[in-house]
Structure 1
């Protein structure tokens, strides 16, 4: 099987993992479970780990924007230095076949540190193209096809999922699927824990359901990852 590359991103401000550490993060628990099970099934795959919760990317600034919209051949040394972190984050995204993001809900949306990551990787000339003279749509995605995004979230209340009572104010998944889709990452899977603020049997049931869903998703995606190799063997 052709090795794949995983990018695991944790964004929780909590450093520990629920079930292991006091007041630990549910999303860190979920991302670790997903990646552990994936690598058990596919030990040949490699991993890049980035903890934006503990080491947040720099937010964009006016100088950053000016540098990003300057043609690469015209950037001076200070401009290149301003974009160095963004270059690294974007290269990690471009390299990855599978992106696994732990995205807790903070005030109905993404943590600021994860939004900063989004702003650093959605970049003109790197992950999306722009040409005002282009016929039709002047923007186009630049990510290679075939990447998959897994969003693992947690919420204090309940009913944020599709058809739920709070679906309309859940901005977490859309805050990732919209910009990632814009740059070409359109296959998304999402699993979440709810009832965190209730801290009762409903929370325990939600954790168990999320972990079961993760195990099923890993099985499904591992099978899909192996399918091209299986077809190649059938036609060899």
Structure 2
């Protein structure tokens, strides 16, 4: 049966997180399609992975037989995260926008799993794996909006997931998520609600279609 690697990075709990609400819908739909399947779940806010250190970086480029104890321990953690990615049939990532880009915890996970000569390079080891990213954001950064030029989440993740890791990328983008909390955005609440409902519907539809495709 299929394995889903589910990554959340919102600092907020499910009840207050736009991205978690959508990834939860996606995951539940996936599990309904694959009741015998496996979900590997990482909550990077509750349990952050280590940031890349000199030991973790240099260990990737030298003979393992020459690793210092520090290099061996740091690289073993990277390999564990890399293997989770390689063994997944599909990946689901909650990537809210914080200060125009992804959370630092998600960047740390990416820094660990990007390894040239293995997951990145000429023959990426997870090439072709479908990844669905829930890129929630407090405002709107869509093409044609005043803040289009400040959108560094989708642009960055496309460069990483597609250009470096060779994955098959799809987005779900709930936006204007700050409208209910920000009085200055009160008139945008209906647009937020529409975006939220569409994102939840997209999550269910995309999860079911992907599950059916992988089961075929």
Same fold (TM over 0.5): yes
Structure 2 residue 31 is matched with structure 1 residue 49: no
Distance 1:37 1:69, change over 3 A: same
Q: Under a length normalisation based on structure 1, what TM-score does the superposition of the two structures give?
A: 0.81
What is the aligned residue count? 208
Distance 1:164 1:96, change over 3 A: farther
Cα deviation 1:46-75 (Å, max 9, x = unaligned): 110001122211111223222222222322
Find the aligned partners of 1:64 and 1:148 in 2 and give their Cα distance: 27
Cα deviation 1:78-105 (Å, max 9, x = unaligned): 2111222211111111111100000000
User: Residue 63 of structure 1 aligns with which residue?
Assistant: 55
Q: Is the 8 A contact 1:69 1:124 kept in 2?
A: no
Which structure has the larger Rg over C-alpha atoms? 1
Find the aligned partners of 1:61 and 1:141 in 2 and give their Cα distance: 25
Give SS of 2:40's match. Answer: strand
* One of 168, 182, 185 as aligned partner of 2:149: 168
Give SS of 1:193's match. Answer: coil
Cα deviation 1:193-214 (Å, max 9, x = unaligned): 1111211222222111111111
Distance 1:164 1:141, change over 3 A: farther
Structure 2 residue 115 is matched with structure 1 residue 126: no
Greater fraction of residues in helix: 2
Cα deviation 1:168-215 (Å, max 9, x = unaligned): 321112222212224443311101111112112222221111111112
Q: Is the 8 A contact 2:30 2:211 kept in 1?
A: yes
Q: Which runs of 5+ in 1 are unaligned?
A: 129-138, 228-236
Greater fraction of residues in strand: 1
Q: Is the 8 A contact 2:56 2:78 kept in 1?
A: no
Q: Which runs of 5+ in 2 are unaligned?
A: 181-188
Q: Under a length normalisation based on structure 2, what TM-score does the superposition of the two structures give?
A: 0.88
* TM-align CA RMSD: 1.8
Task: Kindly indicate whether structure 1 or structure 2 has the higher relative contact order, using CA contacts under 8 Å at least 6 residues apart.
Answer: 2
User: Residue 9 of structure 1 aligns with which residue?
Assistant: 7
User: Residue 125 of structure 2 aligns with which residue?
Assistant: 143
